[in-house]
């Protein structure tokens, strides 16, 4: 059955879009296969967000599971995307991860993969340390805009803020990073 669904979707485009997969779930056209395709496509992004806000792997995995369960429920009711699926996933994973962190009473997260910081080179550790030192609102904008590559509009939608706010937070964050002596080499014009 998955072969028929993928075959029909392939006729629409070389690779089914997220909306086409959501539509397949809503129609019950092998919803499990379509859901699995969505999960495979977005699990890495969701885990990065989960780790960032849960502070540990177990909390991140729980948050991702809860977010994808919520996605399945919404998809079955005919969810329509107004942007990228990652724009919808980001706040859902973030909120579940923050609740997981609160339940575990962990210290606030320090980055995507806290255990990996010690193994990083000095340059990457400096960048990570400087970004981690930003206030949470600026750090979120930097991570979504620079690391995840979302547009200003998508970042605004994911955070539920105005595009102008994204731009001003990003500008302030870059100004702060530029002033950090550890990062001077990244911003020197020479």
pLDDT for the residue 117: 43
pLDDT for the residue 3: 52
φ, ψ at 67 (rounded to 5°): -65, -40
Q: 138 lies in which domain range?
A: 111-190
Whether 161 is covered by a domain: the verdict is yes
Whether 176 is covered by a domain: the verdict is yes
Burial 21-56 (b: 16+ CB within 10 A, else e): bbbbbbeebbbebbbebbeeebeebbbbbbbbbbbb
Summarize pLDDT for 34-85 with one digit per residue, the tens. Answer: 999 999 999 999 999 999 888 889 999 999 999 999 999 999 999 999 889 9
Whether 171 is covered by a domain: the verdict is yes
Summarize pLDDT for 148-179 with one digit per residue, the tens. Answer: 888 899 888 888 999 999 999 999 988 888 88
Other C-beta atoms within 10 Å of 88: how many? 21
Whether 140 is covered by a domain: the verdict is yes
Decide: 96 and 66 in contact? Cβ < 8 Å.
yes
Confidence of residue 121 (pLDDT cuts 50, 70, 90): low
* Domains contained in the chain, number: 1
Whether 55 is covered by a domain: the verdict is no
Decide: 54 and 100 in contact? Cβ < 8 Å.
yes
Other C-beta atoms within 10 Å of 108: how many? 10
Whether 178 is covered by a domain: the verdict is yes
Whether 51 is covered by a domain: the verdict is no
Summarize pLDDT for 65-76 with one digit per residue, the tens. Answer: 999 999 999 999
CATH assignment at residue 128: 1.10.10.10
- Helix axes 31-54 and 57-76, enclosed angle (nearest 10): 140
Whether 169 is covered by a domain: the verdict is yes
């Amino acid at each position: 059955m998955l072969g028929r669904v993928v075959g029909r979707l392939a006729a629409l485009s070389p690779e089914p879009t997220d909306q086409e997969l959501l539509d397949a779930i809503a129609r019950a056209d092998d919803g499990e296969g379509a859901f699995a395709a969505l999960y495979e496509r977005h699990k890495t992004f969701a885990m990065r967000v989960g780790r960032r806000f849960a502070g540990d792997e177990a909390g991140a995995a729980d948050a991702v599971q809860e977010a994808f369960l919520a996605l399945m429920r919404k998809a079955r009711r005919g969810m329509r995307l107004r942007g990228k699926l990652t724009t919808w996933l980001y706040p859902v994973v973030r909120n579940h991860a923050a609740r997981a962190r609160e339940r575990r009473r962990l210290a606030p997260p320090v980055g995507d993969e806290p255990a990996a910081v010690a193994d990083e080179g000095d340059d990457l550790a400096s960048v990570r340390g400087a970004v981690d030192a930003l206030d949470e609102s600026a750090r979120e904008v930097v991570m979504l805009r620079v690391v995840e590559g979302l547009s200003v509009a998508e970042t605004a939608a994911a955070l539920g803020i105005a595009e102008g706010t994204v731009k001003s937070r990003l500008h302030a964050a870059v100004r702060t990073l530029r002033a950090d002596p550890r990062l001077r080499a990244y911003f020197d014009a020479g």
